[in-house]
Amino acid sequence: MHGTGHSGDTEAADRRWLAATWPFVRDSVPGPPGRVVEIGCGDLGGFVPDLRRSGYDAVGVDPEAPTGPSFRQVEFETYDVPRPVDAVVACTSLHHVGDLHLTVDSVADALLPGGVLLVVEWAHELFDEATARWCFERLPHDGHTFLHHHRDACEESGLSWSTYVRRWARDEHRLHTWTEIERALATRFTPVQVERMPYFWPTLGISEADELAAIRSGTIQAGAVRYVGRPLA
């Protein structure tokens, strides 16, 4: 979910996230066999191992990807897709890319006619104070996850949560919002599915259903989005 160089806490959370998201990926890509590229597979390999076990010719592209024939340790913007593919998967990776529109163009150009793009993305602009407070109240006191980092860094900064998270996301890291990502996708893709979903539960150690209930009650914002799109004709 968040970066590489995993602590034990972060790796466990990321594995829970991948396991919970895999059914969406499996059910949304065209049936095997087929060629799939995953953008930003991370050092755990993302969905590539599951895709390959399911009969796909899958490649993960990420500077921090594992070593091996199924991975390319480069940024997607510099990766030359050798042949058109049936699907591209981007899980919590598009908010990091340098040139969002260039990446979207590259994805669209890489897909076969009738291909599909799957995006699972963090909508960090919705990480408001109520959502942060809800998360921090459920966070184990000691740990080394991204939520622990933000809890402590905001407190040390003396800033309000809204000011802190805005400065962190936009000024320090230049992260793209989901709104910006969706706008860029619309230039090359028609959305088939756009669904808001829970995001923080793997790090908190609660169930996805617990977070979903808080979203549906209006207590917190949905932190992530699932998107399925097809290239514009």
- Start-end of CATH 3.40.50.150 domains in the chain: 8-125+175-231
Residue 143's pLDDT band (cuts 50, 70, 90): confident
Contact status, residue 88 vs residue 39, Cβ threshold 8 Å? yes
pLDDT band at 10 (very low <50, low <70, confident <90, very high): confident
Fold of the domain built from segment(s) 8-125+175-231:
Rossmann fold (3.40.50)
pLDDT interval class at 4 (50, 70, 90): very low
CA of 128: how far to CAs of 147, 163, 233, in Å?
Answer: 13, 10, 37
| Residue range 21-26: mean pLDDT, rounded | 97
> Can you tell me the distance from the alpha carbon of 151 to that of 74, in angstroms, rounded to the nearest whole number?
32
The alpha-helical segments, DSSP class H, found in 37-128 are 48-53, 100-110
Q: CA-based angle 153:155:156, to the nearest 5? A: 65
| DSSP H helices in 45-145 | 48-53, 100-110, 129-138
Kindly state the average pLDDT of the residues 220-227: 98
